[in-house]
Amino acid sequence: MDLNPLLLPERLPRQIIYAGDRYCEVFILAQKRIVQRTRLDGVTLAETDGDRWPEIASRLQPQDTGVVLNSEPFIFNFFEFDRLPWSRKLLRELVEWKLQKIFPENIAAYDHQFFRLNRKRVFSILAKRSFLEHLETLFRESRIPLIFIGSSTLEIMNRMSRLKTVPDFFMEIDEASCSLVFQHQGRPVYIRKFKIASRLETAAEISRTVQFVKSSYGCQARSYFIIDHRQQDAADSLAAELAAENLTRLSAAAAGKTPFIPGSQ
């Protein structure tokens, strides 16, 4: 267990940029409530979209800021070992060795963090260093303190860990991508990201993934949450398609309206 977050709790940002697919949303928080929410369509934080940054920066106050990225810039992996060593250094070497076997690119170009899920499993997350440095540079040049860069998927997972009723999986749907996070006994077992096309194709992809998780991990998924960054109607129609596959949608209201924004209710 890391002592740092326990003994040195980090300050939550007062304004957060959610970086979605082909848009950004600026959230201003006060007293754990979102007091202002501004959607900027066609604006991204991508390295190739640097000239649109002033548009976002103009909406920000010079105060502690956070960036929550959707699943697109992250690479999630789960590794299973016979037994995990106690030493953090040894564990890192072991995980990186396994990662090198499946990951074709240079790992040094990525920020690699991993989390012990139980005695055998490790959850690994890769994020491109150049993108993180690009973000830091943008904020530094605008003299806005950037104190948080997180993942919306992980924020939702953390938020769900506090709930009494937890679904078998949740899907986070954005404009162009969908992430499926399967959980067993409160721990993530499988994450799948894919580009969404039509409603029917998305439902078919989800159904195939549910079957894959059942056959590979022995977890029969029956219930789910939808965290949709789009319009409400789109999620409802998808839920209707999935109902035919015996998948029950549970209300995600307990997780809050914006579970991907840290510090919001």
Q: What residues line the site for another protein (CB under 8 A)?
A: 1-2, 5-12, 64, 66-67, 111, 113, 115, 117, 123, 125, 127, 132, 136, 145-151, 154, 157-158, 161, 186-187
Toward another protein, which CB reaches closer, 242 or 260?
260
Toward another protein, which CB reaches closer, 175 or 256?
256
Toward another protein, which CB reaches closer, 157 or 210?
157
Other CB atoms within a 10 A radius of the CB of residue 122 amount to 21
Question: What gap in Å lies between CA 225 and CA 16, rounded to an integer?
Answer: 23
Query: Which tokens sit at 189?
Result: 């077992």
Do residues 32 and 263 make contact, with C-beta atoms less than 8 angstroms apart? yes
Toward another protein, which CB reaches closer, 92 or 230?
92
Least separation in angstroms between CB 6 and another protein: 8
Least separation in angstroms between CB 69 and another protein: 9
Least separation in angstroms between CB 263 and another protein: 10
The C-alpha angle with vertex 163 and arms to 227 and 29, in degrees rounded to 5, equals: 60
Question: What gap in Å lies between CA 186 and CA 221, rounded to an integer?
Answer: 13
| Sequence-distant (≥ 6) Cβ neighbours of residue 249 within 8 angstroms | 223, 224, 225, 226, 239, 242, 243
Query: Which tokens sit at 183?
Result: 């959980």
Toward another protein, which CB reaches closer, 47 or 205?
47
Question: What gap in Å lies between CA 127 and CA 138, rounded to an integer?
Answer: 17
Closest CA relative to residue 192, chosen from 209, 167, 207: 209
Least separation in angstroms between CB 163 and another protein: 11
Toward another protein, which CB reaches closer, 86 or 198?
86
Question: What gap in Å lies between CA 133 and CA 94, rounded to an integer?
Answer: 27
Least separation in angstroms between CB 125 and another protein: 7
Least separation in angstroms between CB 148 and another protein: 5
